[in-house]
Amino acid sequence: MQSTRALKATGLVLVAVLLGLLTVQGSYALWNKSASTNAGTVQAAEFRVSLTDTITNQATDMTLDDGTAASFSLSTTPSGVVVPGQSSYAGVQLGNATNAGGEFTIRASTGAPVVGGNTGSPLAPYLSVKVVAASSLSQCSQAALYATAPSNGTGTLDIAKAATGVLCFQISLAATMPASLTGQSTRIAVPIIVNQL
């Protein structure tokens, strides 16, 4: 008799637990809700830097459409021959033309100048390149701007989003250059590397 009562009590508790579990499971579905949405579009921002020459005011993107780096020739002031003991000046305006959201400041840094390309140049020991940051291209021909700049051709410039900055270059030919090098020409390449801060 006692075992029949115990069996009935156990069955009743089991039914109560089962109903309780079914009730909780049913309410679980009410806690989760879904809604349909249309697919969105995600677009990557462009890391775009423009370069503008001192004389021509011609703008060029720093990276070409195929992803390679642009090569940019600068006009010097005064134009033409650099006389030993004197300097010539050039400048480039860099623009931070990114379409990224939020803050997007970039730092432009110049690497060491390469005189004469891969083969070098006999003029290399007599040339010095100074790089300074300026607020406008018109300042690039002011000799006083370069008074404290190092002659190793390196410099930096920070540019905020949608703003521009200027790197000015002073190219000097030493007065001690031998007369045997008179009339020679060479190219000076100054790499500009830009990184996001």
Instruction: Examine the pLDDT at 69 and tell me if it is beyond 60.
Output: yes
| Number of structural domains in the chain | 2
- The parent domain of residue 30 ranges over 1-36
Over residues 39-44, the mean pLDDT reads 72
- Whether residue 44 is contained in a domain is answered as no
128/57 same-domain check: yes
Predicted confidence at residue 103, as pLDDT, reads 85
Same domain (yes/no): 30, 84: no
Q: Dump pLDDT digits (tens) for 85-139.
A: 989 888 899 999 888 777 889 999 999 888 887 777 888 899 999 999 998 888 9
pLDDT for res 76:
72
| Confidence tier at 9 by pLDDT (50, 70, 90) | low
105 and 165 fall within a common domain: yes
Q: Do 84 and 128 belong together in one domain?
A: yes
Give the 3-state secondary structure of the chain.
Answer: CHHHHHHHHHHHHHHHHHHHHHHHHHHHHHHCCCCCCCCCCCCCCCCCEEEEECCCCCEEECECCCCCECCCCCCCECCCCCCCCCEEEEEEEEEECCCCCCCCCEEEEECCCEECHHHCCCCHHHEEEEEEEECCHHHHHCHHHHCCCCCECCCEEEECCCCEEEEEEEEEECCCCCHHHCCCCCCEECCEEEEEC
Give the per-residue pLDDT at 167: 93
Is residue 141 domain-resident?
yes
- The better pLDDT of the pair 26, 132 is held by 132
Q: Specify whether 5 is located in the same domain as 102.
A: no
The pTM (predicted TM-score) of the whole model is: 0.72
Q: What is the pLDDT of residue 108?
A: 93
Q: Which segment of 3-7, 58-62, 163-167 scores lowest on mean pLDDT?
A: 3-7
Looking at residue 4, its pLDDT comes to 75
Residues 117 and 187 in one domain: yes
CB 159 within 8 A of CB 61: no
Matching residue, tokens 């775009």: 48
On whether both 8 and 82 belong to a single domain, the answer is: no
Q: Are residues 30 and 86 in the same domain?
A: no
* One domain, residues 12 and 69: no
Examine the pLDDT at 79 and tell me if it is beyond 80.
no
pLDDT tier for residue 24 given thresholds of 50, 70 and 90: low
Model confidence at 27: pLDDT above 60: no
For 140-185, write each residue's pLDDT tens digit: 889 999 999 988 888 899 999 999 999 999 989 999 999 898 888 8
Q: Is the pLDDT of residue 58 over 80?
A: no
Is 41 a domain residue?
no
**Same-domain pairing of 30 and 75:** no
For residue 64, being part of any structural domain is answered with yes
Q: Apex CA 7: angle with CA 2 and CA 9, to 5°?
A: 95
- Flag whether 42 is in a domain: no
